[in-house]
Amino acid sequence: MNERLVEQLRRIVAVEIGDETARREQEGLPPLDQLDRTQMARSILRRELDGQWRAAQRRGEMTLNPDEEDHVMDAVLAGLFSQLPGLEAYLARNDVTDIFVVGCDNVRVRMLDGREQRVPPIAESDERLIEQIQALARKGGALGMGAGMAQIEKEFSPSRPLLDLQLSDGSRLAAVAWVSARPYVSVRRHPLVDADQETLVREWKMYDEGMASLLGAAMRARLNMLIAGGMGRGKTTLMRALLHECPPDERIIVLEQEAELQLGLDTRRHDHVLELVERPPNMEGHGSVTLADLTWATKRHAPDRIVIGEVRGPEVVFMLEAASDGIAGTLCTLHARSSRQTFEKLINYARRGGAHFERADVLQTAAFALDLVVYLDLTPDKRRVISEISQVVGYDTSDKQVITNEWFIPGPDRSAVRNPHGPIPVDMLDLLMDHGYDPELHRDNGYDGRMW
């Protein structure tokens, strides 16, 4: 069976059902029940399969026979409906980024625009909620029988009251019970798998067209970039959108703690992706494979570009060395509460696990390796925005500090504005403009572009 087709169809159905659920909620209409969702899913699948059949006929390609179509529909339906029936509607919605559960009846969802709203109970009792989480843990996070990827069974019990689980749709679930007043569940979602820069500019209003032009040019020029920011600022979403600027046949190696980027889902955008995921130790404490292990191993696989979902430990040193050794276009994210904290965090991560890296060595390697640092923040109304973009210029051996040139700085609402005292150097500006950067696209396009 074509597992990629099943996954693509599952995503289409989930999005449309999620949109319909949101519409009904906004208009005060009764929610969809299980029969409604199943019938709607079958209608969407029939429409999509008919469309694919006609397209294949026009191209002269082989088409699925009726039995094969039935198998695909069954696989999609089996994988669609969740082991968490009370949460499935929110897992399917494109506008939900987080789900917070305090017992069966205190449930809130956070939206892309930062708003939170309380939603109906997701189980009839706390005991039933725990049973659902336990069933999901036993299936290793597989939301349905057709989830496809290999899942690792986990335990959620009084002897193991903390659960950390990646769901088969890419969301991350954390649960606590028996050591808390009530069972707590938090689900961190990544709904914008398909979002490109146009989506972030026009719909999310994360930055303007000029900055999109600059970042796209930086990707095409194969500059090495670090995307930093606090939790929930959109680092992974921005990274994914920037990677959509890469040619489809570019050989990208992705290293992650959890499979969040999911670049390989759409082969029209990326058809040469190697995705490696960190493996935690087993219950006996053996068999772990860390990001540092994976980063060291990637050099033997001849990548065009290395991407690390988020650096959190000594893998940062291997990543910086790979970038400074000639693997251009390296991209990673880093958790930092301020732009000033970014380079200090690199030192802290490099020393995790008992490594003895000197401060000067880490900073000097970072200065050699990185070209740009992009910092994300929140506006007062909780909108995720790019707040700063800095060029890494070099390393000052006397002050033992990385030298940066702040091209964009926080404006009154924390959203980035061009820095009149930090122009892009002429050689860098020429490089970016050769790769498609248009400075006149910025909202503040009164600047000349060379002399800001």
**N-terminal to C-terminal alpha carbon distance within the chain:** 57
CATH class of 3-188: alpha beta
Spatial separation of the C-alpha atoms in residues 192 and 94, rounded to whole Å? 7
Helix (H, G, I), strand (E, B) or coil at 375: strand
Q: Give the DSSP letter string of 42-76.
A: HHHHHHHHHHHHHHHHHHT-----HHHHHHHHHHH
- Please give the pLDDT value at position 348: 92
Helix (H, G, I), strand (E, B) or coil at 125: coil
Count of CB atoms situated within 10 Å of the CB of 37: 21
Helix (H, G, I), strand (E, B) or coil at 285: coil
- Please give the pLDDT value at position 449: 42
Specify the length of the chain in residues: 452
Q: Give the DSSP letter string of 293-317.
A: HHHHHHGGG--SEEEES---STHHH
Q: Give the DSSP letter string of 330-347.
A: -EEEEE-SSGGGHHHHHH
Element (H, E) at 368: helix 359-369
Confirm whether pTM is higher than 0.75: no
The dihedral region occupied by 227, where left means phi > 0, alpha psi between -120 and 50, and beta the remainder, is beta
Spatial separation of the C-alpha atoms in residues 361 and 71, rounded to whole Å? 57
Spatial separation of the C-alpha atoms in residues 260 and 333, rounded to whole Å? 12
- Please give the pLDDT value at position 148: 41
Helix (H, G, I), strand (E, B) or coil at 222: coil
Element (H, E) at 384: strand 384-396
Counting other chains too, the contacts that 321-324 makes at CB distance below 8 Å and 24 or more residues apart are: 321/365, 321/369, 322/295, 322/298, 323/224, 323/369, 323/370, 324/365, 324/368, 324/369
Q: Are 390 and 405 in contact (CB under 8 A)?
A: yes
- Please give the pLDDT value at position 215: 98
Domain ranges within the chain, ordered by starting residue:
3-188, 197-441
Element (H, E) at 272: none
Candidates 346, 354, 308; CA nearest to 327 is 308
Q: Are 379 and 367 in contact (CB under 8 A)?
A: no
| 158: Cβ contacts below 8 Å, ≥ 6 apart | 178
The widest CA-to-CA distance across the chain, in whole angstroms, is 73
Q: Are 315 and 294 in contact (CB under 8 A)?
A: yes
Query: Locate tokens 């956070």: which residue?
Result: 110
Strand partners for 229: 335, 376
Query: Locate tokens 């060595």: which residue?
Result: 361
Spatial separation of the C-alpha atoms in residues 169 and 79, rounded to whole Å? 10
Element (H, E) at 276: strand 273-277
- Please give the pLDDT value at position 450: 43
- Please give the pLDDT value at position 265: 75
| 174: Cβ contacts below 8 Å, ≥ 6 apart | 162, 163, 164, 165, 185, 186, 187, 188
- Please give the pLDDT value at position 177: 97
pLDDT tens track for 133-157: 988 887 776 665 334 444 567 889 9
Architecture of the 197-441 domain: 3-Layer(aba) Sandwich (3.40)
Same fold flag, 3-188 and 197-441: no
pLDDT in tens, the chain (452 residues): 466 787 788 778 877 887 887 788 788 888 777 678 788 888 999 899 988 888 888 888 888 888 888 878 877 776 565 567 678 778 877 788 899 999 999 999 988 777 889 988 888 899 989 988 988 887 776 665 334 444 567 889 999 999 988 887 778 899 999 999 999 999 988 765 668 999 999 988 999 999 999 999 999 999 999 999 998 898 999 999 999 999 999 999 999 887 788 887 778 889 999 999 888 777 677 788 888 888 888 878 989 999 998 888 888 888 888 888 778 999 999 999 888 889 999 999 999 877 788 999 999 999 999 999 999 999 998 889 999 999 999 999 998 899 999 999 999 999 999 999 999 999 999 999 999 999 999 987 544 444 34
